[in-house]
Amino acid sequence: MFMADAKSISRSTEKQADHEINAAIKSLRLHFAIVGIFSSAINLLYLSSPLYLMQVYNRVLVSESIPTLVLLTLILVIALAVMAVLDAARTQILIRCGILLDQKLSGRLFSALVQKSSRQGFSLGAQPLRELDEFRTFITGPGIYFAFDLPWIPLYLGLLYFIHPVLGVVATIGAILLLGLAFLNEFVTRKPIENAQGSARRAFTFTENIMQHADVIRAMGMQSAVERHWQGSRIGMLRQQAFASDRNAWLSASIRFARLLLQSLMLGTGAWLALDHAIMPATIFAASIIMGRALVPVEQSVSAWKQAVTARLGYKRVRDILKENPATDLKTIVPVKQTALEVKDLAYQAMGRKKPILEGITFRIGEGEVLGIVGPSGSGKSTLAKLLIGALQPSAGEISFGGLNYSHWDPLEFGRITGYLPQDVGLFAGTVRENIARFGDPSVEEVIEAATLAGIHEMILSLPKQYDTMLGPGGLGLSGGQRQRIGLARALLGRPKLLVLDEPNAHLDVAGEKALSDALFVMKAQGTAIVVITHQPAILRVVDTVLTLKSGRMDKLGSPESFSFVPIEGLTA
């Protein structure tokens, strides 16, 4: 029964993900319709060149009329100019379609990536956004032109049949041959291209991971070993790409050979028909031009096939991420009347693990109370912190804040009243002010208040550009203690109702420890519910209750005094 429900939910979310992408594409129907109309006009106007050729040979040369030649030339110039304008307009419309499509999907995909990375505990990187760009570029770029030109192949073939059935038969056989080679190209290159894309994704993810920890690699003499591993990964990617490209090269060359041979056969067939007086000599060249235009969509599809396969893989990848991370329904914003945090029989089991990380966790923190969580490494403390701030969803049990279950909270509203300081502080490339302000738009007074509460205002004023000092990724340019205290200021912004701090004093000196304690006392006085995870006993003088975790389970819950005669595992003296 459970498996059936899971499959039903999976199908539902997959349909929702498909619906999101398809809805974004369908919203561009008017733009695509205009592009289709322009493409129709372009294909009709393309006939002006062969018609001009036939009129010059069959009428002007016979009548020797200069005015007729001038008039025909003027008509040709106007037709080609209009065709050029329509072609440019078609390209501009498709470019704007790409922008609109990106606006509809990129934000949703970004949100899903953040959601999934938060749930997994590691970054997925920016590769899915690059795959969205590949998909977007294909369906709104020159690669999609063949789809608009393809319906016109029967018209051009019909014209050739009208000129002479033999020319139509030759062109039809050639078109079928080229289409067959195009489908064969797709069949033999699809899997290698998919494998190459997968290898490229893994190689780029590994590269991004290396660059994030370059200091560790250099400091521990790992560069040569890591470089060998990286080279092996990259060589594997290049081999896959070369294998796919080799197959595509042979088939592309075969298609070019068939196309050139077909054009020559068309000229030869036309010459034979002209010698037999079945058609006029000028018709030979006009028929060749018409057939060349008929085969343009086929050539476009072949040249864009690799891009099409890449776009299809990008579509699947984006769809899968959206399916795994469905859009969050906005919840009703409920005013917080109390700041009690309640946890009942909480459990969490990570995907792919047989044993739960947390199980049977139950406690309550009242208004203005501080809970200290201690325990050995690997006991589930950081996972519990992520559950308490809503970054992870529990496998079982309930968490409620302010009398409202987490599942009923609007995530944005809950985040606004919550402060969180993780072990890895998580500062971003931007100014000090932007990092403290959570990249939002609080007032300058609120930012300074948070920095002052964290005891870091004076330190910020000593920076080169004070609050406008730029930081590198991860807070590059600051010491570990400075990064942690800026992270604390960010957590304290707006005086949140719930505050969760994971190892907030891991890198702090004596002054930093005092500033942290002072801030916690202030937050307690205003009624904030606070959770502090720590290995340092000094901070426990602020807490009202201590919870010890061991192997993901509650070991003991009580006042700090009740622990005074029992050594607490996981605390550093």
pTM of the predicted protein model: 0.63
pLDDT value of residue 345: 87
Give the separation between CA 372 and CA 10, rounded to whole angstroms: 39
pLDDT value of residue 476: 66
Give the separation between CA 211 and CA 39, rounded to whole angstroms: 46
Give the separation between CA 549 and CA 553, rounded to whole angstroms: 5
User: How open is the CA angle 153-158-163, to the nearest 5 degrees?
Assistant: 130
pLDDT value of residue 78: 93
- By C-alpha distance, which of 538, 556, 539 is closest to 547? 556
Query: pLDDT 10s per residue in the chain (573 long)?
Result: 333 333 443 444 445 545 677 778 888 888 888 988 998 898 888 888 888 888 888 787 777 788 888 998 999 999 999 999 998 998 888 888 888 888 877 777 777 777 666 665 555 666 677 777 778 877 777 777 777 887 888 888 888 888 888 888 888 888 888 778 777 777 777 777 777 777 776 776 667 666 666 666 665 666 677 677 777 777 777 777 777 777 777 777 777 788 788 878 888 888 888 888 888 887 887 888 888 777 777 777 766 666 777 777 777 777 777 776 666 655 555 555 677 888 888 888 877 677 888 888 888 888 888 888 888 887 888 888 888 888 778 888 888 888 777 777 877 778 888 888 888 777 777 888 888 888 888 888 888 888 888 888 888 888 888 888 887 766 667 777 788 888 888 888 888 888 888 888 777 777 777 888 888 888 888 888 888 888 777 777 788 888 888 888 888 887 777 665 344 455 554
pLDDT value of residue 16: 53
Q: What are the residue ranges of CATH 1.20.1560.10 in the chain?
A: 2-324
The length of the chain, given as a count of residues: 573
Please state the separation of Cα 167 from the chain's center in Å.
50
| CATH 1.20.1250.20, domain 2-324, yes or no | no
Q: What are the residue ranges of CATH 3.40.50.300 in the chain?
A: 341-563
Q: Is 169 exposed, middle or buried (CB count within 10 Å of its CB: 0-12, 13-18, 19+)?
A: middle
Tokens 């985040």, located at residue: 415
Taking a C-beta distance cutoff of 8 angstroms, is the pair 42, 77 a contact? no
- By C-alpha distance, which of 295, 267, 296, 262 is closest to 282? 267
38-56 per-residue burial string, b: 16 or more CB within 10 A, e: under 16:
bbbebbebbbbbbbbbbbb
Supply 58's token pair: 């069959």
How far apart, in Å, are the Cα atoms of 396 and each of 392, 471, 567?
12, 40, 31
pLDDT value of residue 82: 94
| CATH fit for domain 341-563, picks 3.30.1380.10, 3.40.50.300, 3.50.50.60, 3.40.190.10 | 3.40.50.300
How far apart, in Å, are the Cα atoms of 569 and each of 168, 285, 566?
87, 90, 9
Name the phi and psi angles at 530, rounded to 5: -125, 140
* Consecutive H or E run containing 363: strand 358-365
Sign, CA dihedral 197-199-200-206, equals positive
DSSP 8-state class, residue 56:
I
Give the separation between CA 56 and CA 60, rounded to whole angstroms: 5
CB atoms within 10 A of CB 32: 19
Supply 225's token pair: 């070993």
DSSP 8-state class, residue 46:
T
Give the separation between CA 534 and CA 541, rounded to whole angstroms: 12
